[in-house]
Structure 1
Amino acid sequence: MQKKSKSIFILLVISLVLNLYFGINSYIKSTYTPNLDDQDILAEMTSMVIQSKRYKEIASRETVYAIKQGVNRFKVANPSSIYHYGIYVKTEKQTYMFSCTDKACTDVSNEGWTYSRYSEEEPILPLEKTD
């Protein structure tokens, strides 16, 4: 009987550890993965970025390879804040980060920049080179 109790205890511990792992993993993914409401907001923000004067300046002097949308709920104290959304314009020189200028998101501005993978690597597409 004692061997059976040990086996049940071990299975219970394994189950608890797996549930904790999958629960924490799911929570962390949800903080960086946009939901349907987030996607609508990010789509409108992307449109605002493309229409902005700053984006047009960047696009006139650098090759824009990609525009990436992102959400980071760890970025601000209030997870429902508009400030956890970001649009990233990737060029051959840098990645420009755009975000809302106010709580109503009436405009977007270039809040910073960072390294671009395109400064040292080729674009991903086309996947197959044609001659």
Structure 2
Amino acid sequence: YFDKPIEGLLQIAQRRPHNTRKLRKIETESIQFNKKFRVYTNNQEMAFYLITPLMLERLMLFEKANRGKICLGFIKNQLHVGVNDAKDYLELKFKKPINREDLQYLIDDFELISNIIDEFRLYTPKFMKRKGEA
């Protein structure tokens, strides 16, 4: 959740995101990024404000460091993140005793949230209201 509202919708995914009917596909300045990700938006100005060269670079590093396909959605003042590798790591198996390895997957998923905030610098003024802003 961002303190500062984001005007529009932005989807970044390694595959074509669902429901892009009212969105327009855009290309970034990075050829490598465009080969790996698809970017759709209904507000091109907002999209390029958010996806700076640093953000593109960090997203490429984030993709290398994580398992599965990545999808980001900036929707109003929220960021939705999906990392899909076809496994449900938040579901523990109770048929056998839980061990450290089972819990490590959960810990890794929770650390992923913190890493996203840090990697994409979501704590910067870009995502925060300025004094006097509604």
State the TM-score, normalizing by the size of structure 1. Answer: 0.26
Structure with larger Rg: 1
Higher-RCO chain (CA-CA 8 Å, sequence separation at least 6): 2
TM-score by length of 2: 0.26
